[in-house]
Structure 1
Amino acid sequence: MQLVVAGSSLCAQVTAAALASTGNEVLLYIDQPMHFHALQKGHSLWREPGLDEFILEQITAGRLKISLNYAPTATTQRIFLAMAPNQQDEAVMLIKKLATYPKADVLLINQSTFPVGTTEYLEALLRTTSLQKNDGSTTNRVAVSLPDLMQEGSAIAGFTRPNHLLLGCANDWAEAEVREILRPFNRRRDNLMVMTPREAEFTKLAITGMLATRLSFMNDMANLADSLQVDIERVRQGVGADPRIGEQYLYPGCGFGGLSFSRDVMSLAHSLESSGVGSDLLEEVLAINERQKELLFRKLWHYFNTNLKGRTFAIWGAAFKPGSDRIDNAPVLRLLQALWAQGAKIKIHDPKALPALLEWAGEREDLELCETPYEALKEADALLLVTEWKNYWTPDFEQIKATLKQPVILDGRNIYDPTYIRSLGFTYFGVGR
């Protein structure tokens, strides 16, 4: 089957490679020229595990082509639209291209996180160019919603072995086409949940809102646990053991980040506000998260009696989550700004995100990017763990203690055992511990 994937997002690149891997001829239409040459060589700018090799394999096999141009033809056009949320104008331009072939059947599969109702709007634009075919029948020009449910760090598995798929569709021809395209990824059981396009778009945002709510709720509980002298880890395990609740997204920490996650929550809040319904809950979820990003700073501020000027602090982790090189809305950004405002110097290590951090912060005398975690500890008054990369989980604590000027660890992700760390002579601060 000949397919087109339009967009430069992580979703677009994973979708294109996955569809090509099952034998389809896929054109990845790149709308941002700066990505073109890198992708031609199989280099995804998203640094997703396994994605570079996946893309290169499909390009080498001839099943995946990368192009800055897309020229519709008179044959059936099956197009996955996987653009960034701010690219609605580019989506409309694509629809206008399709208008030059009004007798061709068009299936537009919208994966983009646009405002609720956008898929219906795009279909209306498609239908304005619908004409009768030579046999007297009317062309099928349908837009459906297939929301992007991928998670950075496991995006390939999320597409090829999905737990569930949301399909917003009210057309039998379009549903049959989508089912056939996704059949190789939907064999264990039928994971496709069919609903209206608006319902699918809204469900995607509601899922994100629910996950963010769980995170912020547990962060609130962790802060209360601190004042009650309760270990939030025991509480988390007890709450997660209840089958009505489950264990996912109950880990307290120093706040969540990520471009898509944060943006989707804000998009949901905006949708509720613009509809006149409003949502005090979501507004509070976002407010709790922003306060939580300053948690480690507040603990540090109190420990050093409000005097941080001239001190040096080591930070492990800058990416908004392990496995990513991105720092979009990452907790470390708020932490850095707060520490710099008090005249502190930062030495920081991250396995992947230092280039992005340097681009964000620029060259500064109060910021040192370190090649190893232990290099960041030299002359530092305390260690702050912000991102729970696997290589931070079991470090050499004796070396940490010998290198730090003071044996102080602030664990923003609760990955260490407080009792054990304290038995080694450290002053330990966790989140609700």
Structure 2
Amino acid sequence: MQITVYGDTLCAQVTATAMAQTGHQVSWAVVEPASHEYLAIGRPLFSEQGLDQLFVEQLESGRLTPCFWRDVPIEPAVAVFLALSPGQEAAAETIVRQQAGVSECEVIINQTMGPVGTAERLLEILQQQSARLALVALPDLIQEGNAFVTFTRPDSILLGCEGGAGETLMRELLRPFNRRKDVIQVMSLREAEFSKLAISGILATRISYMNDMASLSESLGVDINVVRVAMGADPRIGESYLYPGCGFGGPGLSRNVMTLLNALDSRASEPGLLEQVLRTNERQKEVLFRKFWQFFQGNVSGKKVALWGAAFKPGTHRVDNAPALKVIEALWAQGVKVAVHDPKALPGLESWANGRGELDLCADLYEVAKDADALMLITEWKPYWSPDWRRLKAVMREPLILDGRNIYDPDFVRAQGLVYQGVGRS
């Protein structure tokens, strides 16, 4: 069927690509002129492993057509996805009003995350003009760095429908991604939106809790990795999101937690747990800097630090709210020279650093460590997991390894003649 996807987001790119791959004719309508210019030369807005090539294949097949949102092809869409960026509520309302007059359109699917009640407001606008057209909520549950797989092979799909309106067509649209077992959970619009935010809140809480435990474990002489495995073995807890490290970042999780926190603040007189979760996370982003500072007893001016990883997580090029940014700012403030390697994120990091300070951006992961007084592992990209330790020791001025994701074996690294410090590990 004919589908239109509106938005300049990763969710929009994934949705458009996945729907085209399963045989639909898809128009991907972007809102920002710069995004349209980028797509016009056949390049995706977001670069992730696997997604890039699939996007190009759908373009070449003719099933996926990028366009500017005010120039959507004349062929009317049966289903319209709204995967807009936060702050584009006016564009969403305009699109809903336009679609109300399109007789072929049967359902509008809101994927745009905002405060609880966003979809209800769009439904009210729609019902003022059309009694036949359904509006549903399909909160974005994709995981950046593995977005296409988590969209096409989901563990859960939250589908908000009022009175079941639009459910039948949505089940047909989602059928290719819902074959192993039925993972669609039907609920109200408001329940779907709140469920998404609540999921983000518990994930962030687990991460910050483990970072608090990691800090305590160091003072007790306990290896947090051993504790993590013991906790994960308890079926009441499970293994997911128990890895301590140098904090979480990215646009999605942080924004969703803030949205949830704002809702709590507007309805509760006492500060909530999530406020402490975010405070803990911001503090944790500087944990490697504090270890670096302590190792050199504050005498860090003029030294050089190499960073492995700048993206907020592996598999993405984005540096939005990434822990690396706060580390870099702390190092700059102390007169430390900073060099960075990342497989995908260097262009974004360069744009962020412009006008803020000097960075040495390196294409080679060993060249970045040349004459470094410390190497900080920030993002656990696969090329960093098994480095040539002898080569690193040979090029570094001071063989200090600060492992912000606890991916290395401390005893093995130390046996190679390097100094190792992790997060919550002795």
TM-score, structure 2 normalization? 0.95
Aligned to 2:2: 2
Tell me which amino acid in the other structure corresponds to 2:286.
E
Aligned to 1:151: 143
Tell me which amino acid in the other structure corresponds to 1:142.
A
Aligned to 2:354: 362
Q: 1:161 to 1:343 in 2, by over 3 A?
A: same
Q: 1:200 to 1:2 in 2, by over 3 A?
A: same
SS in 2 for 1:315: strand
TM-superposed deviation, 1:100: 4.2
TM-superposed deviation, 1:41: 4.3
Distance in 2 of aligned mates of 1:172 and 1:55: 32
Aligned to 1:31: 31
- Contact 1:410/1:429 (<8 A) preserved: yes
TM-superposed deviation, 1:171: 3.3
Post-superposition CA distance 1:355-399 (Å, at most 9, x none) = 111111127774211121111121211111111111111111111
Q: 1:277 to 1:417 in 2, by over 3 A?
A: same
Q: Does residue 285 of structure 2 align to residue 284 of structure 1?
A: no
Post-superposition CA distance 1:268-320 (Å, at most 9, x none) = 11111123366521000000000001101111111111111111111111111
- Contact 1:310/1:343 (<8 A) preserved: yes
Tell me which amino acid in the other structure corresponds to 1:362.
N
- Contact 2:17/2:64 (<8 A) preserved: yes
- Contact 1:344/1:366 (<8 A) preserved: no
TM-superposed deviation, 1:153: 1.6
Q: 1:34 to 1:275 in 2, by over 3 A?
A: same
Aligned to 1:136: none
Q: Does residue 161 of structure 2 align to residue 125 of structure 1?
A: no
Q: Does residue 204 of structure 2 align to residue 212 of structure 1?
A: yes
TM-score, structure 1 normalization? 0.94
SS in 2 for 1:4: strand
Tell me which amino acid in the other structure corresponds to 1:48.
E
- Contact 1:316/1:349 (<8 A) preserved: yes
TM-superposed deviation, 1:231: 0.4
Q: Does residue 237 of structure 2 align to residue 261 of structure 1?
A: no
Q: Which residue among 381, 388, 398 is the counterpart of 1:406? A: 398
Aligned to 2:188: 196
Distance in 1 of aligned mates of 2:255 and 2:347: 23
Aligned residues between the structures = 424
- Contact 2:99/2:105 (<8 A) preserved: no
Tell me which amino acid in the other structure corresponds to 1:19.
M
TM-superposed deviation, 1:141: 2.0
Distance in 2 of aligned mates of 1:371 and 1:221: 36
Equivalence map 1:29-428=2 (5 Å): 29-68=29-68, 69-70=70-71, 77-101=78-102, 106-130=106-130, 139-276=131-268, 279-362=271-354, 366-428=358-420
Distance in 2 of aligned mates of 1:353 and 1:22: 30
- Contact 2:197/2:257 (<8 A) preserved: yes
Q: 1:228 to 1:427 in 2, by over 3 A?
A: same
Post-superposition CA distance 1:167-217 (Å, at most 9, x none) = 011233411111111112112211100011100000001101111000000
- Contact 2:13/2:45 (<8 A) preserved: no
Q: 1:74 to 1:20 in 2, by over 3 A?
A: closer
TM-superposed deviation, 1:252: 0.4
Tell me which amino acid in the other structure corresponds to 1:31.
V
Post-superposition CA distance 1:226-284 (Å, at most 9, x none) = 00010001000000111111111101001111011111111111111123366521000
- Contact 1:105/1:140 (<8 A) preserved: no
Distance in 2 of aligned mates of 1:67 and 1:277: 47
Tell me which amino acid in the other structure corresponds to 2:93.
V
Tell me which amino acid in the other structure corresponds to 1:311.
K
Distance in 2 of aligned mates of 1:128 and 1:191: 33
Distance in 1 of aligned mates of 2:101 and 2:175: 31
Q: 1:118 to 1:86 in 2, by over 3 A?
A: same
Post-superposition CA distance 1:80-102 (Å, at most 9, x none) = 1101122111101112322444x
Distance in 1 of aligned mates of 2:134 and 2:270: 32
Q: 1:414 to 1:263 in 2, by over 3 A?
A: same
Q: 1:277 to 1:174 in 2, by over 3 A?
A: farther
Distance in 2 of aligned mates of 1:368 and 1:241: 43
Distance in 2 of aligned mates of 1:192 and 1:400: 49
Q: Percent identity?
A: 52
Instruction: Provide the alpha-carbon RMSD of the alignment.
Output: 1.8
Range moving further from structure 2, 40-49 or 296-305:
40-49
- Contact 1:385/1:413 (<8 A) preserved: yes
TM-superposed deviation, 1:423: 2.0
Range moving further from structure 2, 62-71 or 255-264:
62-71
- Contact 1:272/1:278 (<8 A) preserved: no
Distance in 2 of aligned mates of 1:416 and 1:302: 21
Distance in 1 of aligned mates of 2:335 and 2:57: 50
- Contact 1:313/1:345 (<8 A) preserved: yes
Q: 1:243 to 1:42 in 2, by over 3 A?
A: farther
Q: 1:183 to 1:75 in 2, by over 3 A?
A: same
Task: In structure 1, list runs of 5 or more residues that go unmatched.
Answer: 131-138
Distance in 2 of aligned mates of 1:231 and 1:65: 52
TM-superposed deviation, 1:37: 3.6
Distance in 1 of aligned mates of 2:184 and 2:71: 29
Aligned to 1:16: 16
Distance in 1 of aligned mates of 2:181 and 2:101: 39
TM-superposed deviation, 1:107: 1.2
Post-superposition CA distance 1:397-421 (Å, at most 9, x none) = 1111111111211111111111111
